[in-house]
Every structure is written in structure tokens, then in C-alpha cells.
Structure 1
Amino acid sequence: MVKRIVWAILLVMSILLVWVGLAQQPATPVHQTTKHLAQGQASQMPLYTEKRLRINLARYPQLRAGIQRMIPMPGLQGAWALAKNKSATASHRLIKTVAFDPQGITTSQNEIFVSAYDHNNKANSVIYVLNKWTGQYIKTLSLQFQDHAGGVAYDPDRQMLWVTGHDGKDSMLYGITQAQIDQYDIRSRLPISYQQVFQITTETNNSTMMYANNALWVGYFTKRGLGNIQELPFGKDASGNLTLGQSAGEQDESIVAATKVYASVGQLQGLTANQRHVLMTSSFGNVDGKLVRYDREAGDKFTKGVSVTMPPYLEAVSYDGDTNRFYMIFESATPVYRVKTKAVVDRILYVDNDVFKTGVTPFTPLLQPEFMDLTRPKTIK
């Protein structure tokens, strides 16, 4: 009888050890599909089963409780792209790569947009377009000039997708109309064209962005200390042309500066807002990230900050319209990171407010916004 009890205990302990081992070790991908990828497409085959992914998230019960839907991330098992090339008009080579690293996410009424850059530095950065309702991949947009695409934001008032960038010297914002997105085909071997281009003088770099209150809010990542978020409202000049922020060029209205600057969380990766809240993601390397929520009050004051622990390599977040649900992406499934972390997330996660019901901790309040006065030039670094 005693032997049977001992053997039963040993069996239970063995099962527990196996389960813990699975939860603590990166899993082996279940498929490889790049050899069968049609030209111009991106694979949407996930690396892991949904069951395996939930095991990966075992240490994050708040996140698991909030997940409403999981959409396979395109490109993790291969995507066609345009070979790295600075030209906007010359034909590019089409190449396949498995090293795209997802960075930013935003949504329109019917589509999801995810920006990604090639970790092997052989292809121009891309934006994947997905059907918002089915989660199915639609197409890939190849960007001009971009080695490392970051933030994206959709402007429903102008039907325009905005992309953060850098031209080698200055922070840039590029606007792409919905009409251009609809007609674009990467098999043309040309990058998508930009209908709006702005240079930001008050931001040395930009890595995330959101659209709110008829303005673009642009933020950047810092390893240490607080970053900042800069607000650039839209307007029109005397000729009816689109303007952004306040003019910082003597005769060139495409050179602009922010009108307000806000402190942000450290290690800022993502930024989004609805009418009630502002969400920011804070993450760097193979350590747990944080999803931070602030109440949004009159005068765009961010108050009552709380945070919840997230898996490592947390990147962008985007509210679904004015609902309390939002999309989240991670870069942990990128080849260089999936071998390092114990909590690989290879899906776009659609999450509701239940993620903040338990396990939240107070988070550092942010300073009130500061108005930018160009009569006293000030570059935020």
C-alpha cells in the first residue's frame, strides 16, 4: 500500500515537472511554410498551436483573462518583400525573408495594419494589412527608405495611414491615403507612395504614434528615464493644404514642431487612447513588460495610473475605436527572440478591460503637458 502511494506521488510530481518545463521553455514551431508561399504574400501560419500559446502565457493570468480573440501574426514563417533599396521609383527585387519583426499596430473601420522591419536588414520595412473582422491577411505594403519602421496610426477623418520614420537625419511622418493602400500591389516591385511628408524638428527620434482629437501624438523609446510624447494638431493653410503642428521652416510648411509635450513612461513602446483612457506599453528585452493605463481628464491630463504585468518583448497597443477593447502585439516570436524567452506570443491579441480587474499596481503619475514655444527654440532629446 505504501509503495502504491509513493509511486502515485512520484507520478504526480513527474507530470507537474513536465508541465512546468513546458511552460518555462520556448516551444518548437509546428510548421514551416515558406517554400509554398505565393509571390507577394505573407504566411499567416502560426508558430504554435493555440493550446501551446496559452501554456506560454501561464504566468500572466490577467492577460489570459482579458483575451477575447487571437489572430495569427503574418510573416513569422515567411513573407515576400522588396529588397533594401533607397529608390522610390526604381524597380526593386522581390525577396523572401523569415526575419520580420512586428513593431506597430493600428486599425481602421475594416482593417488592421501591422508594421514590421527586417531583422536581417535585407528588405525594406513593410506594413501587413489584415481584414479586421476575419483576421485574414490581405496584402503587404512595402515602405520607402525604411530600415526600421515603428509606429503607425490611422486617421479616420482623412482616411489616411500615418507611419513614423527617419530619413537618416531627421524624424519624419509619412501619410498614405486609403485609396493608395487599396490599389497597391507589392508585385509591382515598387514601394508604396507617400501623399504627405512632414519633418519634425522637436523630436530627435520617433518610435510610436497614435491619432486622437484631430492630432498625431508621437512618442519615442528611451532605455533610461522618462521619454516624451509630442502632440501635433492638424490644420489647413490659406490655400487649403494640410498642415501639422506649428511651422518650424521659414518657407517650408512640411518642417514642423509639436505644440505640446508630455512626459511618458520609460521604455515606451506603444501608445493609444480612447475618450476615457490612455494606454502605454513599457518593455525592453527578455524581462516582463508593463501595460500602463491612465485616466484621461480635461486638458488631456493623464491621472490615476495603474499597470499590469505583461510578457517580455511587448510592443504596440491600439484601442478598437472608442471601445475599451484593444489590440496588442509582441516581437517575441521573431527568430532572434523566440529562442530567448519563455513566453513567446505569435498572435495579435484582442483584449478587453478585464485585464485591469485584478493584479494591478499604482503607476507613477506623469507631469502635466508643457506648451512648446518656438520663440524660445527647444529640441527635446
Structure 2
Amino acid sequence: MNKQTKREIRWLAVKVLVIVLAIGLAFWGYAFVYRGKTEPPAKYLVTNQDAAVYSLRGQIQMLSQKEDLIAFAFEDRKKEKEYGTYIIPGLKYTRTFLNAQGSEQAVCTSMTPQGLAVTDEYVLISAYCHTAKHNSVIYVINKETHRFIKEVVLPGLPHVGGLAYDLDHDMLWYSSNTNGIAQAVSIKMPVFKDYSYADNRMPVQVNQTCSLYGIVRDSFMTFYKGCLYVGCFNKYTESSIARYAVDEEGNLVNTLDEELGMNFEMAVPLDYSTISEQAQGMAFYNDKLLLSHSFGILPSRVVFYEQSDKRLYVNENSAKTYRFPEMIEQIVVDGDDLYVLFESGAYAYRGYAGNVVDRVLKLNLPKMESYEEEKTLLNIE
């Protein structure tokens, strides 16, 4: 091979490399930057229920390589409606407002699912506007029929990373913040049920807005044994869960000394638990604490821990761990089912997420507890 030919080959290789880099940069700019900062135009003026990226069959097929997830979410659920899944509403269009006062009606096309709660009647999903233009919302889904009922618009633009339902006081909690201070906000369920976007023409009326002492961010929450548990997400370091008491009316106990002259409520934790990094949700099941973990496009995890007086729920103390698709968010226990929410169906993420999960999935908890043992027995046989 002469020198001229070698130069031509090297030049061709350089051109190919430049083209590949240009395509890669263009994709990165579109999928990671452009979609995260812009919203596509809204074609409709109402929240869409059929916001699924996949058909049910397509969703199952897309997840077919996830052996554990298929076993927990879809096996033995053929008789259930939609295999027990719930389409996340509003991923394409969501009715909301342009500002906290609710003075201008609008449609958001970049709502990002975050929080999850389950009651006897409803499956509730919270979402925030990824471009920070529109009020956050809670989607209300009929638990039995799986049909979208309505959107409930919240005051302001909270990240709403957590939802929690207090059955004893019929109270719904969501996570918020003001000026960097973590807050828990409650809504009385009768008010929540009566809310109508068309009739109210403003965000829903909240019951209590209480600042949370001792936690940097209220990234997720759950209600368990008469207390509100609030967890903080950290990317690379261990974090914590704080436990707060509620009074007879279901309000967070305001432990701030009134003599200090402060004009806001603040609750102080009863105790703390230490957790591993990148936690997105928590739930209790029998004697177990369950944590969901995810960050970016890395695989998600659902981790089982034995409850302990030491309250140290870190990786090395885990009892069982399962890997699931990326971008898992909040988890909720209802009976023997673990409801699981992902944010990968949001417009900002579905351009590059390898596994887009556009439905709330129900996982079989008894099967999850015994699955590894069952697989070992099968392998032995």
C-alpha cells in the first residue's frame, strides 16, 4: 500500500469520525437539552387519558427482557384489567395554569411524573412542569376502572416528588418547598374530591403547609403507623428519612416555639433513618422497608431491608435487591401489591430512555419475597 493510499484511508477515517461525532452531538443536543427546555405545541385543551407511548402489548414486549419485572408485574394478572397496569395520564397534554394564582388557563406538554399514592378509590400521580412554566398537578385515576377522572392543579410549581395518603384522617400529603426549605403540604380529601378545574378556575385549596426541620429536601414520602415519613434524595452520598408526628386532626405537629415570633409552622422529626444514595421512594411491607433507587439512565433498583431499631438502611444491610428499568420514582404498598411509577414516559426523557415505562405497574410482593429462593430450587432441579 503506497503513501497516497494510506493518506486517503486516514482522511476517510477522520471524515467518518467527524460525521459520527456530529450525529452524536446532534442527538445529545436534541434528546438531552432541547427536549428538556422546550415543550411541543399543544394540540388539545384538555388532559389526555390515552397518553401511552406503547400499547399494553407493546409495553409488555418492550419489557420482555426484564425477567424479574415480567414475573412480578404480568404473570398471573391476565384476568385483571390492563394486566393490573394504569396508563399515566397527561404525558402529552395536561390542563393547568401559567402561574401560582391560577389566573391564566394553559396546557402543559412536558409534565413529568413524580409521586404516587393509592387509596380505596383512586390511584393518584403527581407531576411537575419540566420547563417550569406551569403549575404542578395530581392526576386522579379510578382504581377499579383504570379510567382517568380529572386533574387537580396545585398552587405553584413544586417538584411534588412525594405523595402520601393518611387513611385515618382522610388526608393527602405532597412534598413542596419555599426558598429552599423543605415543606409538607396537606389537602383534605373531601376538598380534593370536590375540586373541578372548570368550576374552580384556580389551584386547589390546601389545608396545612408545614416546614420540615432537619431535612434538606423532601424528595419522597409515605404515611405509616400514624406518622409521615419524608426522605431526601442525594446523588452520591448516604441520605436520611425523617419521621414526623401528626395530631388528632391529622396535621403535622407544629413544634416551633411561638415565643420566637415566627409566622410559619415547622415540624421537628421524632427520629431519623440512614439510607443509601439515589433513593426515590419508600414503602413498608410486613417487617420490611422497601426503597426504590434510580439516577439518570442507570438501571433502577428496588431494595428490601429488614426493619431495625438501628435504622440503618444502606446497601450492605439489604435483604434482597431487584434491578428494574431506569427512572423509577415513587413506590406504594397496597395489600400484597407494590405499585411502581416511572418518569421515563415524560417528553423530556422518552427521547433517550432505553426503556420507556408509561404505566404504573403492580408488582406481586409475596412473589418478590420468595422469588430468589424459587429460582434456586428450579435451578437445582
TM-score band w.r.t. shorter chain: 0.7 to 0.9
Which of 181, 186, 191 in structure 2 is aligned with 1:175?
A: 186
CA distance in 2, matches of 1:223, 1:59: 27
Asked if 1:244 corresponds to 2:222, the answer is no
Preserved CA contact (<8 Å) 1:216 1:232? yes
CA distance in 2, matches of 1:116, 1:349: 17
Worse overlay, 44-53 or 118-127:
44-53
1:10-25 equivalent positions in 2, closer than 5 A:
none
1:1-381 equivalent positions in 2, closer than 5 A:
35=43, 37=44, 39=46, 41-67=47-73, 68=77, 69-83=84-98, 85-87=99-101, 91-187=102-198, 188-236=200-248, 244-245=252-253, 247-251=255-259, 254-296=265-307, 305-320=319-334, 323-353=335-365, 354-358=367-371
CA distance in 1, matches of 2:59, 2:369: 21
Q: Secondary structure at the match of 1:103?
A: strand
Q: Deviations over 1:42-65 (max 9, x none)?
A: 333311112221232133110111
- Give the counterpart letter for 2:96 in structure 1: A
> TM-score with structure 1 length normalisation?
0.78
Q: Secondary structure at the match of 1:101?
A: strand
Q: Deviations over 1:300-341 (max 9, x none)?
A: 776652110010011110001xx2211101011111211112
Q: Secondary structure at the match of 2:156?
A: coil
CA distance in 1, matches of 2:286, 2:312: 12
CA distance in 2, matches of 1:204, 1:304: 25
Preserved CA contact (<8 Å) 2:273 2:312? no
Q: Deviations over 1:19-59 (max 9, x none)?
A: xxxxxxx9xxxxx9963x464x3333311112221232133
CA distance in 2, matches of 1:263, 1:301: 5
Worse overlay, 341-350 or 246-255:
246-255
Q: Deviations over 1:88-108 (max 9, x none)?
A: xxx422211221100010111
CA distance in 1, matches of 2:332, 2:185: 19
CA distance in 2, matches of 1:141, 1:206: 21
The change in CA–CA distance for 1:221 and 1:299 in structure 2 (over 3 A counts) is: closer
Deviation at 1:82, TM superposition (A): 1.3
- Give the counterpart letter for 1:248 in structure 2: L
CA distance in 2, matches of 1:45, 1:244: 36
Q: Deviations over 1:158-186 (max 9, x none)?
A: 10100110012311111101110111011
Deviation at 1:71, TM superposition (A): 1.2
Deviation at 1:157, TM superposition (A): 0.6
Deviation at 1:77, TM superposition (A): 2.2
CA distance in 1, matches of 2:108, 2:100: 19
Higher helix share: 2
Deviation at 1:356, TM superposition (A): 4.6
CA distance in 2, matches of 1:243, 1:149: 19
The change in CA–CA distance for 1:45 and 1:86 in structure 2 (over 3 A counts) is: closer
Preserved CA contact (<8 Å) 1:246 1:258? no
Deviation at 1:280, TM superposition (A): 0.7
Deviation at 1:259, TM superposition (A): 1.1
Preserved CA contact (<8 Å) 1:308 1:356? no
Q: Deviations over 1:270-317 (max 9, x none)?
A: 111133322110000011010011233578776652110010011110
Preserved CA contact (<8 Å) 1:34 1:43? no
Q: Deviations over 1:92-134 (max 9, x none)?
A: 2221122110001011111111010011222111000111111
